[in-house]
Structure 1
């Protein structure tokens, strides 16, 4: 003998199935939206990294121009070298904030002034930015300029600590004439570039005269 369920029970069961299907659809849609948001966040992080690196290149170009403007940069190499987390001091009295000296600055004073102004610019334009400048171990007429800023790149999935260290190995400089080694600080992204020191000399009869002002 066949027994049929009341129509009210069938309607209740049907409503339950519809609710379950709706919940599954919501979960699937939420997972899809999370995937899209994740891709956008990764794209944004990559874009920010590119922008910061472009800023680092411009800052090093600015430093290079300052070095070229010094009449005797080679003779004042020590005035350009700075370490990570260097304390900012007062610029020389012969220079003012506009960048034009009130009195004649020596090449050493000009170098000290330029480093102070430039380092302030680095820390103002890069997130948690800092810089180190060192003499190249292979060429005493070259300066290595390394900038660092807060890391916003996520490690690739599956990368080990050794993989991350290998990624930053290019920023580990050994055998410099100013220190044993220069490395990228932990948790930071770095950009390294080398610039040449200059010295402007003026012929004076049979001799060559290099001004120190």
Structure 2
């Protein structure tokens, strides 16, 4: 009987170690699930923002609104919108509001709205974002290339 002393304590410690490792694994899976849910929300927000600006452009297209697409052009972090002047203050205000919404919903986002191939009726809306602050190890993602640093949504459509 003297040789058996302490065996129960060792068995208990081994069981505690195994339970601790299992709980760490479960916590890791939970964190991955939360990250995936956050990423899905950002992608859904990006799609919603892209379709929103496309619908706004459609609402302001037609005979009474010449050069609609070029008046909506946005490039990245620029404080001003392309072609903002007194004749299209309403469109400029809409685009500035849209850029603010992009900045609010997507981390470190870079929105771009452009006219494709000189065809005023064809537009391209691209939203790229970083999930972490920018640095050399965390570049802005390139659309069409798998990147772990962020996400990208491209919407190409005709007005």
Q: Deviations over 1:131-180 (max 9, x none)?
A: 1112223854221111123337xxxxxxxxxxxxxx95526xxxxxxxxx
Structure 2 residue corresponding to 1:170, chosen from 144, 147, 152 = 144
Structure 2 portions without partners, runs of 5+: 133-140
Structure 1 portions without partners, runs of 5+: 1-6, 95-105, 153-166, 172-183, 198-213
Structure 1 residue corresponding to 2:76, chosen from 67, 78, 84 = 84
Deviation at 1:129, TM superposition (A): 2.8
Task: Report the Cα distance in structure 2 between the residues aligned to 1:138 and 1:87, rounded to whole angstroms.
Answer: 24
Partner of 2:136: none
| Aligned partners of 1:151 and 1:188 also within 8 Å | yes
The 5 A counterparts of 1:29-68 are 29-68=19-58
Deviation at 1:78, TM superposition (A): 2.8
Partner of 2:154: 192
SS in 2 for 1:85: coil
Partner of 2:103: 123
Partner of 1:175: none
- Number of residues paired by the alignment? 147
Task: Report the Cα distance in structure 2 between the residues aligned to 1:147 and 1:48, rounded to whole angstroms.
Answer: 17
Q: Deviations over 1:82-129 (max 9, x none)?
A: 22222257xx797xxxxxxxxxxx4x3333222111101111122233
Task: Report the Cα distance in structure 1 between the residues aligned to 2:109 and 2:85, rounded to whole angstroms.
Answer: 27
Report the TM-score, using the length of structure 2 for normalisation: 0.74
Moved more, 187-196 or 27-36: 187-196
Q: Give 1 or 2 for the bigger CA radius of gyration.
A: 1
Deviation at 1:42, TM superposition (A): 1.3
Partner of 1:26: 16
Aligned: 1:16 with 2:9: no
Partner of 1:75: 67
Deviation at 1:194, TM superposition (A): 1.5
